[in-house]
Chains A and B, each alone.
Chain A
Amino acid sequence: RKEVEQDPGPFNVPEGATVAFNCTYSNSASQSFFWYRQDCRKEPKLLMSVYSSGNEDGRFTAQLNRASQYISLLIRDSKLSDSATYLCVVNVVGFQKLVFGTGTRLLVSP
């Protein structure tokens, strides 16, 4: 089983739609969680950290469910510029490394 698993997509949505991605992680000792965004042929960039109580940044909301070992990303009012690959990233306590999921591709169309 992969440490971090994501649905690869692509998710095709129209502008203005709401879309949600889930990510599951296998190690219950995971302690830090992030969503990164990667545009085509570019480097990954941090979108947002994910906190236990959930957090929001504009149109983006991240949730963590430790009991079920998954994190989610909700994007409201999708824009064309949201088209990208979204990477779920996890750190396991005691290990100095981040583990990346393979990413979920989002395509927002006019």
Chain B
Amino acid sequence: NAGVTQTPKFQVLKTGQSMTLQCAQDMNHEYMSWYRQDPGMGLRLIHYSVGAGITDQGEVPNGYNVSRSTTEDFPLRLLSAAPSQTSVYFCASSPTGRTEAFFGQGTRLTVV
């Protein structure tokens, strides 16, 4: 049972580089979301999607883009990496935004 799959698990970027974090789910969930987790800050919502073709901003969207062309995939793009984006990123999916969320294993990103 794959659930939510995130790649890569670890990444080091140089300031100014761009990259895409991949997220895929096989549970046919309509709702998908991206969080970042920093010490003492808890999980903060970056972007979310309530279905294919629909995305919206969360609490900390600046510096990130998303798209949702299929139900299964919800990639997160860092446009120009900054040291402040050093964090652990989690992708999650759920039937709706009000129900239990299933998380991927996370991506540990370091921007130097």
By a beta-carbon cutoff of 8 Å, the part of chain A in contact with chain B is 8, 31-32, 34, 42-46, 49, 87, 91, 95-103
Contact = CB atoms under 8 A, between A and B. Distances in A.
Interface string B14-55: 000000000000000001010100001111110010100000
B61 interface: no
B42 A96 contact: no
A95 to B, nearest CB: 7
Contacts of A32: 98-99
Given A98-B101, A99-B45, A100-B42, 9 more contacts: A31-B98, A43-B90, A43-B104, A44-B101, A95-B97, A97-B48, A98-B45, A102-B42, A103-B42
B13 to A, nearest CB: 20
23 contacts: A32-B98, A43-B90, A43-B103, A43-B104, A44-B43, A44-B90, A44-B103, A45-B103, A46-B101, A87-B42, A91-B97, A91-B98, A96-B31, A96-B50, A96-B96, A97-B45, A98-B45, A98-B97, A99-B45, A100-B42, A101-B42, A102-B41, A102-B42
Contacts, number: 50
